Amino acid sequence: MSATKARKKSTMADPVDAEQLYEHLQAVIRDSEALLKASASYAGDKIDVAKAQAAETLANAKERMADVQEGLLDQGREYVQKGDQYVRDNPWQSVGFAALAGFVLGALLLRSRD
């Protein structure tokens, strides 16, 4: 049992980037929709309540995902605008940085041929 707890702690401590999280949530939404469609033929009060609750939870998850996606897009646009403004304010530093990056990339590519 202690090995299981140790495994859970290590997996919970593993970093997850936003893209992986988004993909996992999309998969959960797809699977939930498939489950609701598959259980459509079953009848009964408890099933109907569970389906309604699952549908509501799914709708809320979709709404949250849309909000998160919009927030990330806004943040990305803001970073692009700040980068563009920096290049406009400091053109020579930007040219120097680009030249340095090109030199380093070229050196790495030449080393990989050897």
Q: How confident is the model at residue 51 (pLDDT cuts 50, 70, 90)?
A: confident
> Which residue range is the domain that position 95 belongs to?
2-113
Query: How much is the average pLDDT of 93-106?
Result: 92
Query: How much is the average pLDDT of 5-26?
Result: 59
Q: Is the pLDDT of residue 12 over 50?
A: no
Distance CA 62, CA 67 (A): 9
pTM (2 d.p.): 0.48
The pLDDT value given to residue 52: 79
Structural domains in the chain (count): 1
The pLDDT value given to residue 59: 82
Residue position matching structure tokens 């569970």: 50
Q: Is the pLDDT of residue 70 over 60?
A: yes
Measured CA distances, 41 to 29, 36, 44, 106 (Å): 20, 10, 10, 62
